[in-house]
Chains A and B, each alone.
Chain A
Amino acid sequence: MTATTALYDVPGPRTRRRHRLYGTLSTAVLLGLVAWILYLLFDTGQFTRTKWMPFAYKGIQELLLRGLGNTLKAFAIAAALSLVLGGLLAAGRLSDHRAVRLPAAVVVEFFRAMPVLVMIFFIFVALKVQPLPALVAGLALYNGSVLAEVFRAGVGAVERGQREAAFALGMRKTQVMAHVLVPQAVRAMLPAIISQLVVALKDTSLGYLITYEEFLHAGKLIASNLDYDLPFIPVVMVISPIYIGMCMLLSWCAVRVSRREQRSPKTRAVAVATPGPGALLPGREPPLAPKP
C-alpha cells in the first residue's frame, strides 16, 4: 500500500508508534460502534425465537428460493435484452447515415437521462404490462442505452490504423466492423460490460415496487407477518448478504477480467470506462478517471 501512494513516506519508528496509536483508537471506536448496534439489536429483541422461526419452515424457505429464482430470471432476460439492444443502438450510433445516427443518439440520450423506475412505472401503469415484462423492458431500455455507449467507446478505442488497414485491404464497412474492430473492442469492453450487468442485477430489485414477486418481495411478505412479530430486521439480515454477495461476485468478475486484460500482451490495454450514469450534455463525455 505504501508503495502506491505519494501521500506519506515509509514511516519511521516514531510515526509507526503514532500510527499504532491512531489504529488502536479508531479500532476501538469502530468496535464500540459495532457493539452499540449489537446492543440495540438485542435490546429491541431482534434475536428472539419467534422472529427467527419463519426461516425454519419449508414453505417460507421455498418462498425465498422462488423469489431468488424470479430475481435471477428477470436479470438473465434483462441482461440478454440489454446486450442485444445495446448492440443495435451502438450500430445505429456508429452508422454513416445521419437518418440512422440521429434517432439512435436521441434514444440513447433520452433513456440514459430518465430514472429507470419512471420507465418501469410508465410501462407498468400506463401501458398496463405485466410486472415481469415491465421490469425487464425498463431495465433493458436503460442498460441497453448505457451499453450502447460502452460499445461505441470500445470500437472507438481500437487504434485508428486497424480500421485504415482493413479499409485499405478493400474490406467493406460491415466486414471492417465484424472482423477487425469488434473482436478487438470486446476485450477492452468486457470489464465495463460486466460492471453494467451488476447495475442491472441491482436494479432487478425495483421489481419489488411494481409487485413483481422477486427476492425482496418474498422478504417483505415474511417481514410483515404479524404471527412472527414482524421480523423485519431478521429478514434484512438474511436477504442482504445474499443480494450483496451476488452483486459482489459479479463485480469481482469484472475486476478480475480487467486485471487479466491489463496483463495481456495481446492488447495494449485500452480501458473503456463505464460511461457516467447521467446524461451529460451530448457530445461531452467526461474524461473518466484513469487507474482504478
Chain B
Amino acid sequence: MNVLTDNFSTYARGFLGTVELTVYAGLLALVLGFVMASFRVAPVASLRVFGTVWVTVLRNTPLTLLFFAVVLGLPRFGLVLPFQLFAVLALGCYTSAFICEALRSGINTVPRGQGEAARSLGMTFGQTLNLVVLPQAFRSVIPPVGSTLIALAKNSAIAGAFSVTELLGTYKTLNELGYDIVWTFVWIALGYLIITLAISALFHALERTWGVAR
C-alpha cells in the first residue's frame, strides 16, 4: 500500500513520461495522419499510392516489430537519437495510419453536395478540402480520433520495455527495491486509467462543443 507514498517521485516520473510520450506522439500522429489523409484523397495518383501503402503497411505492422526496427535497427543505420525520440517516432508513425483512416472516413461522411457546391463556386481542390470539407469532417471524426489517441496512450507502454522512462517501466525499479508487486501494478493501472479517462473526457467535451448532431 505504501508503495505509492514511498516512491511518489518514481511514479510521477513514469507518469509524466507516459503523458509526454502520448502528447508528442499524438501531435506527430495528427500531423502525419492529416498529410496522409490528404494524400489519399488527392487527384495525383502517386500521392494516393504512397498514402495507401503507408496506411496499409503501418496498420498491419505489429507495434513491437516497429519498435524493434526503429529503436534497435535505426542506430545500425548510423542514426543515433535519444530513446525517447525513437519512441515518439515509432508511436507517432504507427498511430498516424489510424488517424488517417479516421479522417478519410470523416471526409466520406460529408455530403457530396458540399464538395460540388464548393466546386461550382470555382474553388480549387485545396480550397474545397480545407475550407469546406475538412472543417465538417473534423467535427464528425472527434470520437474515432479520441479512441485512437486512447489506444496510443495504452500502446506507449511498449516504449517502457524498450528502455524509455514511462509508467509501466516503473515496475522494474520498484520490483528491484523489493516492493509488493501486486500493489505496484495497482498504482500503475490507476495511472493508465487516469490518462485514458482524461483523454476520453477531453474528447467528450470537444464533441459537445464541436460535434455534429445528425
Contact = CB atoms under 8 A, between A and B. Distances in A.
Contact of B199 (A30, A216, A251, A278): A278
Contacts of A247: 60-62
Contact of B68 (A22, A220, A287, A289): A220
Interface stretch (A159-167, A172-180, A204-212): A204-212
Which of under 10, 10 to 19, 20 to 34, or 35 or more describes the interface residues of A? 35 or more
B143 A202 contact: no
Nearest to A284: B204
Interface stretch (A81-89, A98-106, A236-244, A257-265): A236-244
Contacts of B203: 280
A28 to B, nearest CB: 9
A236 B77 contact: no
A23 B175 CA distance: 56
What size tier do the contact residues of chain B reach?
35 or more
B192 interface: yes
Interface in A218-260: 219-220, 223, 230, 232-233, 236, 239-240, 243-244, 247-248, 251
A289 B77 contact: no
Nearest to B111: A6
Contacts of A206: 64, 158
Contacts, number: 206
Contacts of B99: none
29 contacts: A6-B113, A6-B115, A6-B116, A7-B129, A8-B119, A40-B77, A41-B77, A44-B78, A117-B157, A118-B168, A118-B188, A121-B185, A202-B61, A202-B62, A205-B64, A216-B64, A219-B68, A220-B68, A230-B76, A232-B72, A233-B77, A251-B59, A276-B151, A277-B150, A279-B197, A280-B200, A280-B203, A289-B140, A292-B105
Interface of A: 1-2, 5-9, 11, 15, 19, 22-23, 26-27, 30, 40-41, 43-44, 46, 113-118, 121-122, 125-126, 198, 201-206, 208-209, 216, 219-220, 223, 230, 232-233, 236, 239-240, 243-244, 247-248, 251, 276-281, 284, 286-292
